[in-house]
Amino acid sequence: MSAPTAEPTSVRCPACRSDVSLDLESTCVTVCARCLSVLERSSVGLRAIGVSGKLRDHGSKLHSGLRLRIGRSYVNVMGRTQPEDSSGNRWDEWYVEQDDGTWAWLAEDQGRYFLTEPLGGGPTLNHAEVESLEPGARVMLGGEPFTVDERDQSVIRAAEGQIPFFFRLDETSTFVDLSGEGGRFATLDASHDPPRAYVGREVQASELVFPHPGDPTYRAPPPTGGRVAVEGKCGGCAFPLKVRVPAESVRVFCTSCGEAHDIDGDAVRHVRGVGRDIGKRQPFIPLGSEGTLFGEKLTLVGWVRRVALTPEGEFPWDEHLMAVQGGGFRWLVLNQGTLTLGRPIPAGQVAPSGARVAVQGVDFEPFTIGKARTERAVGEFPWRLTPGEVTETADWTRPPYALSREQHGTEANWVLARHVDAETFEAGFPGRAAPTPAGVGMAQPFKHAAALRVSLYAAIVAFAIFTAQRLTADNRVATRLEATIEATASEATPQSVFGEPFTLNGGEAITVRVASGVRSNWAFVDGALVNADTGVAQPFGIEVSQYSGVDDGESWSEGDPNGAASFSALPPGPYTLQLNVIRGPERSANAPSIALRAEVVEGDPSFGWPLLVFLVIGAATIVLLMMRSAHDRQRFAYSDFPRDAS
Amino acid sequence: MKLDLRTRPSKASKVYAVSLAVLLVLYGHAALTGSELNDDERDTIPSEERASSGHSRPGGFIYFPGYRGGK
């Protein structure tokens, strides 16, 4: 790594006379590290415009003065602000100088990072247009399509280091967050005139490469990760309160009485008239439970009971807020005794298609649409959760996933959730029993789906075997035999017929075909292929019959004068075909004898094996499809888009 | 997060997969060797009887194992 590009420049803080940094020509504001004065660059030098509030410790690994790599590019962290939105959520906006001398914005919020740069080319939207944007609206920025996630107001509460724009502390302004495909991200900032657009992408935590501890810009991250539990007492019942993620949580509800408290750093303040009595209602696992699901270490920090408001009544479900080790939150949702684990995704990842939506090209079908009310809560939340609040909800499903959208005011949140089966949950939370299912979950996959795939693959393999066998079979007539079966060939005195010697090549199935020409009669051919060298005989029997007549003016016929017998390959060698034939008494004086023709075909396999294989696969598949259909009907039992009985 | 639509196969699915695999192996083997289902049992005629005029098997059919053609 190389040193920062700009030469450090120190000037005096006009408030406390301490040295403050003003390294870059483009720095607009710098914050005195000693007295926290916010100093604005002006034509007459530095001018104090206020004092920064205390920075909230989010446990970030970033800090002013750090040089790190993001992807393939090195940047110098010059400063940050901490804006707070209307729900009380506070995040870090880090200002980084890139090696080409330009600035970029690295936002860090609940374990997620967003790297953006100012969009060139002049203003994109005016104030009125920004203020009119609603969640889900499509906006073109720099020729790129984006979807509005939320429009909210923010205020900068605290700052440090050098900042590349002018601002006022505690001044409220509108911002709009937008997202696009492939992790693209944008923000419209209406604190400027005209509003500014910043465009970039979401950066994965793994893309941030921090310097070695020996690097002069390295500073060890807070050992607590910003998650020192804060303890206090409930203002309603004096029950002990514990805030496990105070850096991110802004409201906590008493686990005993449900009273609400706002969190500000280390302080917990009782908020009257917000919490609701929880009675004996508690999450199915206690707050503070730790476990691992889908590779993420989770801690249960909050529980909320919600109800779906439908014309048929109110249907409750539980949501468990899980703090992720390393930052961020997940939702463990318990509905009808089944679990899903959800994570927020940007609206730009969701492609609407009529009533359906698609995520990463995977189609989701609609499941419910309506409203839901937050009933009561315990534990902590990173926004000012208010029981009684009603949101608009919509769900889509594609097992093992479910996609949910909730909109409250000008903020819409998308959550992509995955079904958690009992085995996975109990493996991830040792000692905790999974809830007992009371139905089929929205995202619950058909548990024998793999068997259906196996059926498909097996059918393909079976068809390949069948085709290959048919294409490569010799289908060679090894011998033919013709004889006249006299009327005297009875059971007591069968007529023997012997064919000429012939050779079998071996390795392929044998079929003996008989064409008898019987009319209103029957014959039974009791035969054998006899190996002339070894004396081994392969017996077979073929019955043929044919009857016809006229009853009540309608002609009829039944039976088949032709027949065949198949058997496994015989060893190669010389063979003879030997037949003993018996027949029924002749009723017609005009045709006292039966013309019998027989032939031995080598390499004409019967349909016995393929019939058996396809029968087994087909029967199993039909049973599986019926089971899946029943599963889906149960799954959609409480959907607004129910499956019919087909 | 990359969507992963795979799900854990049930035990019944595994048993079913193994059963079908066995069935397909048997079918493939039958196709290669020319085996058929439900063969009648072959009848081995003792060598000392081959030269005789006939060999009787259950059912009354008489083979002529020494028959090599002609009337």
Radius of gyration of chain B (CA): 25
Could you give the C-alpha distances from A171 to A83, A155, A163, A587, B57, in angstroms and in order? 10, 6, 16, 114, 108
Q: DSSP characters for A590-613?
A: T--SEEEEEEEEES---SHHHHHH
Looking at residue A440, its pLDDT comes to 94
What is the pLDDT, as a whole number, of residue A58? Answer: 78
State whether residue A451 sits within 8 Å of chain B by CB. yes
Inform me whether the C-beta atom of residue A535 falls under 8 Å from chain B C-beta atoms. Answer: yes
The verdict on A443 touching B (C-beta cutoff 8 Å) is no
Per-residue confidence band for A222, with pLDDT thresholds at 50, 70 and 90: low
Which of the residue ranges A249-253, A262-266, A440-444 would you say has the lowest mean pLDDT? Answer: A262-266
Segment A402-412 mean pLDDT: 92
Least confident window among A51-60, A109-118, A354-363: A51-60
Higher-confidence position of B1 and A289: A289
Q: What is the pLDDT of residue A398?
A: 96
Interface contact B37-A609, CB threshold 8 A: yes
Chain B residue closest to A420 (CA)? B7
A627 at B interface, C-beta within 8 A: no
User: CB A532 to CB B45 under 8 A?
Assistant: no
- Nearest CB among A421, A536, A605 relative to B34 is that of A605
pLDDT tens for each residue of A72-92: 899 999 999 999 998 888 899
> Can you give the three-state secondary structure of A20-86, one letter per residue?
EECCCCCCCEEECCCCCEEEEEECCEEEEEEECCCCCCCCCCCCCCCEEEECCEEEEEEEEEEEEEC
Per-residue pLDDT tens over the stretch A517-542:
888 888 999 888 988 888 888 988 99
Return the pLDDT at A212.
Answer: 87
CA distance A232 to A590: 114
Q: Report d(CA A603, CA A584) in Å as an integer.
A: 33
Q: Centre a 10 Å sphere on the Cβ of residue A510 and count the other Cβ atoms it contains.
A: 27
pLDDT in tens, A133-187: 999 999 999 889 999 999 999 999 999 999 988 888 888 999 999 999 888 999 9
Contacts of A346 (CB under 8 A, 6+ apart): A147, A149, A179, A183, A185, A202, A414
> Which of A54-58, A270-274, A336-340, A549-553 is the most confident on average?
A336-340
Secondary-structure percent of chain B, ordered helix, strand, coil, rounded to 5:
40, 10, 55
- Could you report the per-residue pLDDT of A2-50, keeping only the tens digit for each? 334 444 566 888 889 888 888 777 889 999 999 999 999 887 788 889 9
Q: How many CB pairs under 8 A join A and B?
A: 169
Q: What is the pLDDT of residue A441?
A: 94
Q: Is residue A627 exposed (0-12), middle (13-18) or buried (19+ Cβ within 10 Å)?
A: middle
Which pLDDT value is given to residue A9?
61
Among A509, A576, A612, whose Cβ lies nearest the Cβ of B69?
A576
Average pLDDT, chain A: 89
The pLDDT of residue A213: 85
Q: Select the residue from A360, A454, A504 to test the B interface by mutation, using most B Cβ atoms within 10 A.
A: A454
Q: Is A117 helix (H, G, I), strand (E, B) or coil?
A: strand
Cβ-contact A334, A444 below 8 angstroms: no
- More confidently predicted of A93 and A167: A93
Q: What is the pLDDT of residue A203?
A: 93
- Chain B environment of A528 (Cβ under 8 Å): 43, 61, 63
- Cα–Cα distance between A300 and A171 in angstroms, integer? 35
Contact (Cβ atoms closer than 8 angstroms) between residue A567 and residue A509: yes
Instruction: Tell me the three state secondary structure of residue A181.
Output: helix
pLDDT at position A225: 57
Report domain extents, chain A. 10-209, 230-428, 476-547+555-604
Residue of A423, A567, A607 for testing the chain B interface, max B β-carbons within 10 Å: A567
Beta-carbon contacts of A487 under 8 Å, excluding residues fewer than 6 positions away, are A583, A585, A586, A592, A593
pLDDT confidence tier of residue B62, bands split at 50, 70 and 90? low
Closest CB from B14, B30, B63 relative to A537: B63
Is the pLDDT at A493 greater than 70? The verdict is: yes
Instruction: State the pLDDT at residue B58.
Output: 42
Question: What pLDDT shows up at residue A82?
Answer: 94
Nearest CA in chain B to A399: B5
Distance in Å, alpha carbon of A194 to nearest chain B alpha carbon: 36
β-strand partners of A126: none
Nearest CA in chain B to A444: B7
Condensed to tens digits (0 to 9), the pLDDT of residues A571-581 reads 999 998 989 88
Is residue A390 predicted with pLDDT exceeding 60? yes
Using an 8 Å CB-CB cutoff, list chain A residues near B49. 535
Locate B8 and state its tokens.
Answer: 């854990």
Determine the pLDDT at residue A491: 76
Residue B16 and residue A627 in contact, taking contact as beta carbons nearer than 8 Å: no
In the predicted structure, residue A210 carries a pLDDT above the cut 60 = yes
Residues 6+ apart with CB under 8 A from A267: none
Answer whether A544's CB lies under 8 Å from A522's CB. yes
CA dist A113 and A411 (Å) reads 19
- Tens digits of per-residue pLDDT, A602-616? 998 889 999 999 999
Q: Residue A643, Cβ neighbours under 10 Å: how many?
A: 14
Would you report the helix, strand and coil content of chain A in percent, each value rounded to 5? 10, 50, 40
Q: What is the rounded average pLDDT of the residues A213-234? A: 74
Taking residues B27-56, what's their average pLDDT? Answer: 71
% pLDDT > 90, chain A: 60
Token pair, residue A120, equals: 């060139």
Q: Coil, strand, or helix at residue A449?
A: helix
Q: pLDDT per residue over A109-138, tens digit each?
A: 988 899 999 998 766 789 999 999 999 999
Residue B55: predicted pLDDT = 47
SS3 A255: coil
Question: Which overall architecture, per CATH, does domain A476-547+555-604 show?
Answer: Sandwich (2.60)
> Is B59 a residue whose pLDDT tops 50?
no
Q: How far is the C-alpha of A204 from the C-alpha of A181, rounded, in Å?
A: 15
Distance in Å, alpha carbon of A335 to nearest chain B alpha carbon: 20
Contacts of A263 (CB under 8 A, 6+ apart): A230, A243, A246, A249, A250, A251, A252, A269, A380
Say if residue A254's pLDDT is above 60: yes
Contact call for residues A79 and A63 (beta carbons, < 8 A): no
Tell me if chain B has a CB within 8 Å of the CB of A528: yes
Angle between helices A608-635 and A449-472 in degrees, nearest 10: 160
